[in-house]
């Protein structure tokens, strides 16, 4: 009996250790011509099976990059930079026996400079690197259609969300999450619940600041994530209705209605979100206790499954008074209501 308890305890410790650390993929990006380091190149981690996006990152000043806390599976890494063609790595696998993988040096080759026919198109990049912050444009990634704000943030560079919903930025916890430049005053389960039911389609940009400017107080020393919602600038009364449905192993639905009335310097708008989400969970544990001669003494099997159903309603009704002709905007009352049942 003591052997069995000891074996189960060691197995539990091993499982917890893997869950906390996960797998890691690293690599280096260089220019395929002059072999110079490419700073701030966009790196995307894809699932090898269907090329779905898992996570994004930017290269460091030395051209290196890394993805951590990865689940078991096969992955691809794709790198891109302005003026260069995309390059893909060979398939990489993370498993319990091999928690680390390296792409080696990926060479980005300069794209063709043929100017015989030039077509200029305006398209936002999913990731934009600026002097004091990194900007995420959700609409630039088609996979964000029907996704939630939490799922979109999980793909953003430097952001990690653990199983308890704690948000960290480059390994630092205590990140301040702001909504339209104002502190959310939500934390823990309330913040995760809000982000998990906020459609990514309602977000205009996400600003990620690892070293916030001095105008932010000490509460943002670990970093700031500012979520900027979309605002309609059309005059008069207008609205927008969107819905998305998905069905794989489980069903999900995200529905949003936005109404806006703008006259002169006064703008009032309402946003209503109604979401339904099924979250199936499975846990299978198979263990064998061996004797000294390696024969099986006992077998332990545990199979657990459950279905969590989340129904969520959110209403936002602010009023804005624009007091400047350019740049800034003013103030006004507003309410935000959240209901989960």
Quick: pLDDT tens for 282-317: 888 888 888 888 888 888 888 888 887 877 777 776
Query: pTM for this structure?
Result: 0.63
Q: What percent of the chain has pLDDT over 70?
A: 78
Are both 258 and 333 inside the same structural domain? yes
Are both 66 and 145 inside the same structural domain? no
Are both 152 and 67 inside the same structural domain? no
**67: which 2 tokens?**
């993805």
**276: which 2 tokens?**
């339904």
pLDDT tens per residue across span 252-276: 787 878 787 877 777 777 778 787 8
> What's the burial of 136, exposed, middle or buried (CB within 10 Å: 0-12/13-18/19+)?
buried
Are both 169 and 191 inside the same structural domain? yes
Q: From its phi and psi, is residue 142 left (phi > 0), alpha (psi between -120 and 50) or beta?
A: alpha
According to DSSP, the β-strands at 42-47 and 53-58 are antiparallel
> Which of 199, 230, 261 is at the close of a domain?
230
Q: Which of 317, 314, 335, 308 is nearest to 148 (CA)?
A: 314
Residues 6+ apart with CB under 8 A from 134: 58, 127, 128, 157, 158, 207, 208, 209, 210
Number of domains the chain is built from:
3
Are both 158 and 259 inside the same structural domain? no
Q: Which of 181, 330, 189, 322 is nearest to 265 (CA)?
A: 322
Are both 136 and 224 inside the same structural domain? yes
Q: How far apart are CA 218 and CA 221, in angstroms?
A: 5
Are both 10 and 107 inside the same structural domain? yes
Q: What is the mean pLDDT of the chain?
A: 77
Q: Among 238-247, 295-304, 320-329, name the one with the lowest average pLDDT.
A: 320-329
CATH of the domain at 173: 2.170.130.10
Are both 299 and 201 inside the same structural domain? no
What's the domain range around 24?
Answer: 1-111
Are 180 and 229 a contacting pair, CB within 8 Å?
A: yes
> Which of 81, 111, 141 is at the close of a domain?
111
Number of alpha carbons in the 13 Å side-chain half-sphere of residue 122: 0
What pLDDT shows up at residue 194? 80
> Which of 230, 247, 265 is at the close of a domain?
230
Are both 103 and 10 inside the same structural domain? yes
pLDDT tens per residue across span 173-209: 888 888 888 888 776 777 877 887 778 878 888 999 8
**264: which 2 tokens?**
């002169």
CATH of the domain at 50: 2.60.40.10
Are both 103 and 72 inside the same structural domain? yes
Are both 286 and 254 inside the same structural domain? yes
**285: which 2 tokens?**
């544990």
């Amino acid at each position: 009996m003591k052997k069995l308890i000891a074996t189960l305890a060691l197995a539990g410790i091993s499982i917890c250790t893997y869950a906390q650390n996960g797998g890691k993929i690293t690599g280096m990006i260089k220019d395929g011509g002059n072999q110079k380091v490419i700073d701030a190149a966009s790196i995307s981690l894809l699932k090898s099976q269907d090329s779905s996006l898992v996570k994004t990152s930017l290269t460091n000043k030395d051209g290196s990059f890394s993805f951590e806390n990865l689940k078991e599976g096969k992955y691809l890494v794709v790198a891109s930079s302005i003026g260069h063609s995309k390059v893909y790595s060979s398939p990489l696998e993370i498993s319990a026996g091999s928690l680390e993988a390296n792409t080696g040096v990926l060479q980005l080759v300069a794209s063709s400079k043929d100017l015989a026919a030039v077509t200029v198109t305006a398209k936002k990049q999913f990731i934009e690197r600026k002097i004091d912050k990194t900007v995420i444009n959700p609409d630039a990634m088609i996979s964000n259609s029907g996704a939630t704000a939490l799922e979109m943030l999980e793909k953003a560079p430097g952001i990690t969300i653990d199983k308890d919903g704690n948000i960290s930025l480059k390994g630092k916890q205590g990140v301040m999450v702001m909504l339209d430049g104002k502190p959310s005053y939500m934390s823990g389960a309330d913040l995760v619940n809000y982000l998990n039911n906020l459609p990514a389609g309602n977000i205009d940009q996400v600003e990620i600041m690892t070293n916030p400017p001095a105008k932010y107080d000490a509460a943002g020393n670990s970093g700031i994530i500012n979520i900027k919602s979309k605002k309609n600038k059309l005059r008069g009364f207008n609205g927008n209705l969107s819905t998305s449905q998905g069905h794989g192993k489980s069903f999900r639905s995200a529905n949003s209605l936005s109404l806006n009335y703008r006259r002169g310097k006064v703008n009032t708008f309402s946003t209503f979100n109604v979401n339904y989400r099924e979250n199936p969970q499975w846990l299978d544990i198979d263990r064998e206790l061996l004797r000294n001669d390696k024969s099986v003494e006992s077998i332990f099997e545990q199979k657990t499954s459950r279905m969590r159903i989340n129904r969520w309603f959110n209403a936002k009704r602010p009023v804005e008074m624009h007091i400047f002709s350019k740049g800034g905007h003013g103030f006004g009352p507003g309410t935000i209501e959240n209901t989960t049942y």
